[in-house]
A = this chain, B = another copy of it.
Amino acid sequence: MGKPATGAAARAKPGVGKSVVGTPIVGKSTVGKPAAAARQGRPKTANRLKRIEAKHAAILDAALALFSRYGLHGTTVEEIARTAGVSKTNLFYYFASKEDVYVGVLSRLLDLWLEPLREFQLDSDPIEGIREFIRRKMLFSRAHPEASRLFCLEMVQGAPLLRGELETSLKALVDSKVPVIEAWVAAGKLAPVDPHHLIFALWATTQHYADFASQIDALLKTGLDDDRFVEEATRNVQRIVLDGLRVRNEG
């Protein structure tokens, strides 16, 4: 007997039904494991595991592409399966539910998204470090525009799934960078600015190119596909953030 409880009803009445959405990602290791295969049947050879992983990844890839374009409720399991090259029934062999797929996608996503921030190591020269961070973020936006957009979608909608991770992983990461930035400001190596707002500005300006790609395309008929455009965008963001718009009198 199916217990769909799909769509609005599922989120409107949290706690009712088995809805996974709303449950923060805690044990990432259990997420994304095959639904039936998880409770193993027979000893798996390395080959078996590899084929399973490949299929698994194919489904997640397909799901990312669709979820980022149409959202969770705008995407059907049928479409995900077709895009991944598997049958709908087969997809349900690997994932317990549609939301299980969604959680799997988001889980991979967050690690990916946090990467540039983790490498935010502004060593000796903060100016050079920020310039490099912007460059990396822009490259990330170009390499993973769908990931950036799905992340944005989640944020805009309140990130019920990621909230837990944001308050732990992300916050810890941000908190670790704040004193560094503060020290630079104190040492006169950086103009006086609040570390958090600085980080927000860096995120906003760089992700904008992936998240608002359709707007940019409508205006300029170009975007992150064009290497020249990426270069130009990177240069301009670096200039604005580092030097500002006010004309300088010094060299």
| A211-B156 in contact (CB<8A) | yes
For chain A, the bracket of interface size reads: 35 or more
- A159 contacts which chain B residues (CB < 8 A)? 214-215, 218
Nearest CB on B from A160, distance (A): 9
Nearest CB on B from A90, distance (A): 19
| B249-A219 in contact (CB<8A) | no
* Chain A residues packing against B (C-beta within 8 Å): 7-9, 11-12, 68-76, 78-79, 126-127, 130, 149, 152-153, 155-159, 163, 166-167, 170-171, 174, 188-194, 196-198, 200-201, 203-205, 207-209, 211-212, 214-216, 218-220, 232-233, 236-237, 239-250
| B250-A245 in contact (CB<8A) | no
| A200-B216 in contact (CB<8A) | yes
Residue in B207, B239, B247 whose beta carbon sits within 8 Å of that of A188 in the complex: B247
Copies of this chain assembled into the complex: 2
Q: Complex Cα distance A167/B7, Å? A: 33
Residue in B157, B219, B232, B250 whose beta carbon sits within 8 Å of that of A71 in the complex: B157
- A75 contacts which chain B residues (CB < 8 A)? 8
Closest to A206 in B: B204
- A153 contacts which chain B residues (CB < 8 A)? 153, 156-157
- A76 contacts which chain B residues (CB < 8 A)? 7-9
Q: Complex Cα distance A208/B211, Å? A: 11
Nearest CB on B from A63, distance (A): 13
